[in-house]
Copies of this chain bind each other. A is one copy, B any other.
Amino acid sequence: MAAPDARPSSAGPPPARSLLLPLLLVLLLAAYSLPADSAARPSSNSNPRPAFTPPLLKRHQLRRPSSSSAELVAGPANASTKPFTAHYFPQLLDHFAFTPNASTVFRHKYLLNDTFWRRPGAGAGDDGPGPLFVYTGNEGDIEWFATNTGFMFDIAPTFGALLVFIEHRFYGESKPFGNDSYRSAETLGYLTSTQALADFAVVIRGLKRDLGAEAAPVVVFGGSYGGMLASWFRLKYPHVAIGALASSAPILQFDHITPWSSFYDAVSQDFKSESSNCFGVIRAAWDVLDERGATDKGLLDLSKLFRACKTVKYAYSIRNWLWTAFTYTAMMCKTIDAFPAGADVLEKAFAAASLYYNYTGDQACNKIEDGDDPHGLDGWQWQACTEMIMPMTISNESMFPPSAFSYDDRSDECFQSWGVRPRPHWITTEYGGYKIDKVLKRFGSNIIFSNGMRDPWSRGGVLKNISSSIIALVTEKGAHHLDLRSSTKGDPDWLIEQRRQEVEIIQGWIDQYHQDMAETSS
Binding site for B on A (CB under 8 A): 92, 94-103, 185-186, 188-192, 194-195, 198, 201-202, 205, 235-240, 386-387, 419-421, 423, 425-426, 428-446, 464-465, 469, 512, 516-517, 521-522
Q: How far is the CA of A186 from the CA of B522 in the complex (A)?
A: 45
Listed by A's residue number, 24 A-B pairs whose Cβ atoms lie within 8 Å are: A92-B423, A95-B96, A95-B430, A97-B97, A97-B195, A98-B185, A98-B188, A98-B386, A99-B185, A99-B189, A102-B189, A103-B420, A202-B429, A205-B429, A235-B238, A237-B432, A238-B439, A238-B440, A239-B433, A239-B434, A240-B429, A437-B521, A438-B521, A443-B444
C-alpha gap A4/B435 in the complex (Å): 54
CB distance from A198 to the nearest CB of B (A): 7
A214 to chain B, nearest CB (A): 9
For A428, give the chain B residue with the smallest CB separation: B239
Instruction: Quote the shortest CB–CB distance from A382 to chain B (angstroms).
Output: 8
Kindly report which residue of chain B lies nearest to residue A439, judged by CB atoms.
Answer: B239
Question: A505 vs B337: C-alpha distance in the bound complex, in angstroms?
Answer: 65
Determine the distance from Cα of A387 to Cα of B97 in the docked complex, in whole angstroms: 10
User: Are the CB atoms of B238 and A236 closer together than 8 Å?
Assistant: no
Closest to A386 in B: B98
Q: Least Cβ distance of A199 to chain B in Å? A: 11
Known pairs A430-B198, A442-B446, A442-B516; A97 contacts B189 (CB<8 A) = yes
Instruction: Give CA–CA (A288, B358) in the complex, Å.
Output: 90
State which of B96, B190, B435 has its C-beta within 8 Å of the C-beta of A99.
Answer: B190
A205 to B426, CA, bound (A): 11
Min distance, Cβ A483 to any Cβ of chain B, angstroms: 23
* Minimum Cβ distance to chain B for residue A299 (Å): 38
**Which B residues lie within 8 Å of A189 (CB)?**
97-102
**In the complex, chain B residues whose CB is within 8 Å of the CB of A198:** 429-430
11 new A-B contacts, CB < 8 A, other than A98-B185, A442-B469, are A97-B190, A97-B192, A98-B386, A100-B186, A205-B429, A236-B236, A238-B443, A239-B435, A435-B521, A437-B521, A442-B516
